[in-house]
């Protein structure tokens, strides 16, 4: 008969915890728009049910009384309450109205950015995604310089609020770094999207290593329209690079739903990443 002393029971419990402890420093979240619940509190519960550690919240594209939809104290409290209830973080916010009013040339976009900083602080979300795509993409050096100079004005307020302004775009790691340097603010960082960068022909593993932990605030993981691991991106190499730079922020899935079942497809992609991270592939 095996007799277990109190000390051996504690040791076994500790060993079990070690086995199940997360072996990577970053957290896996999801975008509310890929859950088909953009700017809806219900995204919090769904993200939690699937198994994510956080959800990235859209601030809304259609103003309400000349304010962002999330510029509403009652709605903000609903998000905070839902996050507490479901044991999940609000991983960040997305200033998606910049798909309508472009930060590179529209004064109204500056108002939305100013408004987004206190909203994000209230949600304890830490990072605001600033998108530059389509007609709002950064195409010329003049546009890149303009955005860098503009963010120099917003940097102090973001720093005071403890909020990061994350650049997500289609330009190179080096060009993003130049904008960051031009802003002269530690609150301006790169929001790195492996899908976008791969589509532009960049070596994402090389760029992640080059940018490093100090210049990447958050990441999007995707290889649309494919399931993760079934497209062109080597996610084992991507995750290895993230570990090497000790990335500790949120990596949010921005994945499509090939089967049209959002919950099932998100679960499949999340499970794939966790199996890779835990060395259980093959």
Q: What is the pLDDT of residues 57-81, one digit of tens each?
A: 999 999 999 999 999 999 999 999 9
The answer to whether the bond into 67 is cis (omega within 30° of 0) is no
Q: How many CA atoms lie less than 13 Å away from 261 in the CB half-sphere?
A: 8
Compute the distance between CA of residue 229 and CA of residue 25 in angstroms, rounded to an integer.
21
Mean pLDDT score of the chain, rounded to an integer? 93
What pLDDT score does 21 carry? 52
Q: In whole angstroms, what separates CA 179 from the centre of its chain?
A: 19
Protein fold of 24-277:
TIM Barrel (3.20.20)
Dihedral pair phi/psi, residue 91, rounded to 5°: -70, -25
The string of pLDDT tens digits covering residues 157-207 is 999 999 999 999 999 999 999 999 999 999 999 999 999 999 999 999 999
Closest Cα partner for 111 from 149, 84, 150? 150
Residue 55, both tokens: 């959800």
Give the confidence band of 280 by pLDDT, cuts at 50, 70, 90.
Answer: low
pLDDT higher than threshold 90 for residue 5:
no
Q: Residue range 224-247: average pLDDT? A: 97
Give the confidence band of 253 by pLDDT, cuts at 50, 70, 90.
Answer: very high
DSSP per residue, 182-212: HHT-TTEEEEEEHHHHHHTT--HHHHHHHH-
Domain boundaries, the chain: 24-277
What pLDDT score does 281 carry? 53
């Amino acid at each position: 008969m095996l007799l277990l002393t109190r000390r051996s029971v504690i040791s076994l419990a500790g060993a079990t915890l070690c086995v199940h402890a997360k072996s990577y420093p970053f957290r896996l979240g999801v975008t509310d728009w890929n859950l088909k619940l953009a700017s809806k509190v219900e995204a919090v519960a769904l993200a939690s049910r699937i198994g994510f550690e956080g959800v990235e919240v859209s601030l809304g594209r259609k103003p309400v009384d000349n304010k962002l939809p999330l510029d509403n104290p009652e709605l903000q409290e609903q998000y905070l309450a839902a996050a507490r209830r479901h044991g999940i973080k609000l991983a960040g916010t997305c200033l998606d109205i910049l798909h309508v009013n472009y930060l590179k040339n529209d004064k109204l976009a500056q108002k939305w950015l100013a408004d987004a900083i206190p909203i994000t602080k209230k949600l304890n979300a830490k990072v605001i995604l600033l998108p530059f795509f389509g007609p709002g993409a950064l195409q010329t050096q003049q546009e890149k310089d303009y955005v860098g100079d503009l963010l120099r004005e917003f940097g102090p307020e973001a720093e005071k609020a403890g909020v990061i302004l994350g650049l997500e775009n289609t330009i190179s790691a080096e060009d993003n770094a130049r904008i960051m340097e031009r802003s002269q603010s530690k609150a301006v960082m790169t929001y790195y999207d492996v899908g976008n960068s791969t589509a532009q022909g960049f070596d994402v593993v090389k760029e992640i290593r080059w940018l490093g932990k100090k210049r990447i605030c958050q990441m999007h993981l995707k290889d649309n329209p494919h399931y993760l691991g079934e497209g062109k991106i080597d996610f084992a190499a991507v995750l290895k690079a993230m570990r090497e730079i000790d990335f500790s922020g949120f990596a949010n899935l921005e994945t499509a739903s090939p089967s049209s079942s959002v919950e099932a497809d998100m679960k499949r992609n999340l499970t794939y990443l966790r199996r890779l991270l835990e060395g259980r592939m093959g």
